[in-house]
Amino acid sequence: MDFRKILNTINEMLDEEELKSPTSKPNDHGVWDEETGRITQRERERRAGKADGDRMTQGERKRRASAKASHEKMSTNEDDKGLTSAIGKGVMAGVKRTTNSKRKLGGFDVKPITIQDSEVDEALKLDAPQNVLSRKEVHDYMDRIKDGTKTKADRFKPIVHGSNIKALLKSDDPNDRWDLDDFAKQITTPIKQILDTNAKMAKSKKEGSITYDLTLPAISGIVVDEETGDFVEVTTCPGAGECKLICYARKGGYVMFPNSSMSAARALNFLMNHPTEYMDMFDREVKQAKKLADKNGIKLLVRIHDAGDFFSKQYYDLSMDVARNNPDTKFYFYTKIGELAADSNAPPNVVSQFSSGSKPSEVNVVKFHRNAGKKIKDAITLSKDEFRGLFVTDAKGKYVKDTEGRTQVKSPEAWKQFQQQLGQKYNIDPEPVITYYQMVRIPEGTDPKWNVVVFPAGHGDLGATRRDVENQFLMFH
Ligand code: SF4
């Protein structure tokens, strides 16, 4: 059936009241329970031993650093082979991949994706995503956090909550105010789980699916190289452009409490220092969540990153291996890396979208692939100006939501006008511009055809998981 016919049928099913008061299913809220995989006592002890190792003396630290440096000097291909084979012991066994990096952290390559196509020029390559910080640099940054004197240059630095910085009680030296060993110990504390969900099972059952996701620090994070004891700043969103200025994951619940920012730092630290264990844990948790979803007769959806992005090709490959290892689970991700949004080798159970706010060079990569005929889904964030006047507001201009917390379109005419404007601005056919509410009532097809508008409140993320969604338009909230 032609998609316009489907749309007409759907529109007939929808009465005008629905547009005034959309009743789409919102994200549910709840907790992750005992089904979660726990780290073994033995592993806990082993890693606690590692954390203690972070308290090594300066001399010891230097010796290890210099040993590591000469090892790195000697190794290029051999290192990569060794790393690949070590990683291959886990869920990634048998998967062939190549690495081309020279820098490693704890044995994990963090160089960002190298664009291999010869027609893509130098400017499209990404920056180096990591930077070893001296103790003085960390100390000075902590000074600025504690004293409220952060500079413009600190804007995109790793977020550290002031409560995670402990004073050194015994030091009289004003240049040694903060307990960096304690800070390192917090970061290297083992994580208990990777995946999390806000969904309540009762609501998920109604919706037919449950979503789990994982979080990394947005823009950049601070980790400890567990071999050398060095603090290392890792760029976690190498493709981010202007989105950095309004990043949702650098505010609110993501960073408001000492635990929230620290748990993201711990996850990144674990990933950087123990990639094999991280991926095994990820794989195990997907399987546990799948069991739970199956038991309740619903689909499992896994969102890779609700904050952060793939910061290296290798990290991406490892994550795709987990997806391959769980073919009955749907994985999805938003990315600002054009090459990943265009990856033809992604497993069939993975849906990607290129989200707005990336570096212009990444947009060029996407253009290049589109010109070559590749379909790439966009997730475009609409500014408030682009939908001003569409929704019912009160005298103060605040959205009047329905009983389930959803924004309400003023009238079918207002919606029609919005569709036309969107079509003109983004050069798309306005007919298949539908609301999230309309989308969830259409059985998922295989070909991209729908342009789905996600309202500021009350709409969910299922459009990101569907192959028949050509683009998503996410209204800023
Ligand atoms: S890519 Fe996402 S998480 Fe990273 S800076 Fe942009 S909006 Fe924030």
Cα–ligand 1 centroid distance for 247 (angstroms): 5
Does ligand 1 lie within 6 Å of residue 308's CB atom?
yes
Tokens of 294: 């199956």
Residue nearest to atom 5 of ligand 1 (CA): 244
For a substitution probing ligand 1, which of 156, 157, 219 has the most ligand atoms within 8 Å of its CB? 219
CA angle (65, 71, 75) in 5-degree steps: 145
Pocket lining: 469 vs ligand 1, CB cutoff 6 Å:
no
Which two tokens mark 257? 């409490």
- Written as tens digits, the pLDDT of the chain (477 aa) is 344 444 444 344 333 333 333 333 223 222 212 222 233 343 333 334 333 333 333 333 343 343 333 333 323 333 333 323 333 333 322 222 233 333 333 334 444 433 333 232 222 122 337 889 999 999 999 999 999 999 999 999 999 999 999 998 776 776 788 999 999 999 999 999 999 998 888 888 988 999 999 999 999 999 999 989 999 999 999 999 999 999 999 999 899 999 999 999 999 999 999 999 999 999 999 999 999 999 999 999 999 999 999 999 989 999 999 999 999 999 999 999 999 999 999 999 999 999 999 999 999 999 999 999 999 999 999 999 999 889 999 999 999 998 878 899 999 999 999 999 999 999 999 999 999 999 999 999 999 999 999 999 989 999 999 999 999 999 987
The reply to whether ligand 1 has any atom less than 6 angstroms from the CB of 240 is yes
Distance (angstroms) between ligand 1 centre and the Cα of 25 equals 25
C-alpha distances (whole Å) from 400 to each of 409, 412, 458 are 10, 17, 12
Output the six-digit token pair for 259.
């635990």
Give one word for 308, left, alpha or beta, with left for phi > 0 and alpha for psi -120 to 50.
left
pTM of the model: 0.74
Q: Which residues pair with 57 in a beta bridge?
A: none
Pocket test for ligand 1, best of 214, 235, 247, 461 (most atoms within 8 A of CB): 247
Looking only at Cα atoms, what is the longest distance across the chain?
Answer: 78
The answer, yes or no, to whether any atom of ligand 1 lies below 6 A from the CB of 218, is: yes
Å from CA of 237 to ligand 1 middle = 6
Q: Is 453 helix (H, G, I), strand (E, B) or coil?
A: strand
Cβ-proximal residues to 445 (8 Å cutoff; 6+ apart), any chain: 467, 468
Distance CA 155, CA 246 (A): 11
Torsion of CA 66, 67, 70, 74, to 10 degrees: -160
Query: What are the phi and psi torsion angles at 18 (to 5°)?
Result: -65, -35
Q: Distance between terminal CA atoms of the chain?
A: 36
Supply the residue whose CA is at minimum distance from atom 7 of ligand 1.
247
C-alpha to C-alpha distances, 219 to 165, 334, 389, nearest whole angstrom: 21, 14, 33
Using an 8 Å Cβ cutoff, are 390 and 409 in contact? yes
Quick check: CB of 219 below 6 Å from ligand 1? yes
